[in-house]
Amino acid sequence: MTDDLNRNRGEAGQEEAHWYVIHTYSGHENKVKDNMESMVKNQDLGDMIFDVQVPMEDYVEEKDGVKKLKERKMFPSYVLVKMIMNDKSWYVVRNTRGVTGFVGPGSKPIPLSDEEVKHLGVTKKEALSDTYAVGDRVKVLTGPFEDFVGIVKELDEENRKVKVTISMFGRDTLVELDVNQLTEA
């Protein structure tokens, strides 16, 4: 449906648009997304509301010694909307069934910063090779290796993972990290 929302519209409108966070009833995130996309299509609001996302993350679940890769909502009860904020778009989003309100003080929604949007992973993902190359120095942002600096040894485009050599206790250790855990050093 996201492709339907982005069809037949110029890039100029999207440059003015920002990502906003809306709060929903627990467990209604996907229903809100579907309802909002239907309203945008039915009311021809594609020039104001460009994208609706429920951020998901992968995790490994181990049950009876068997590991399975599963997916879960990153932020239960929240949905992200890329839109141009005006009275009409605010009204449509705010009055979508299942929406309890925008995140922000009072009735004034606060847009997410570009950095926040990047870390949430809701925008189209660029190729790892556009960001990192084998031999690059990177710094780990989160996890058990936080603040360590290492050297990129391998890129896994499909899984968006980077193998990095980190020096710990005088030894080089190869660790696999998610691309969102790294920044250029």
SS (H, E, C) the chain: CHHHHHCCCCHHHHHHCEEEEEEECCCCHHHHHHHHHHHHHHCCCCCCEEEEECCEEEEEEEECCEEEEEEEECCCCEEEEEECCCHHHHHHHHCCCCEEEECCCCCCCCCCCHHHHHHHCCCCCCCHHHHCCCCCEEEECCCCCCCCEEEEEEEECCCCEEEEEEEECCEEEEEEEEHHHEEEC
pLDDT tens digits, 29-73? 999 999 999 999 999 998 999 999 998 877 778 888 887 777 888
* pTM for this predicted structure: 0.61
State the pLDDT at residue 159: 76
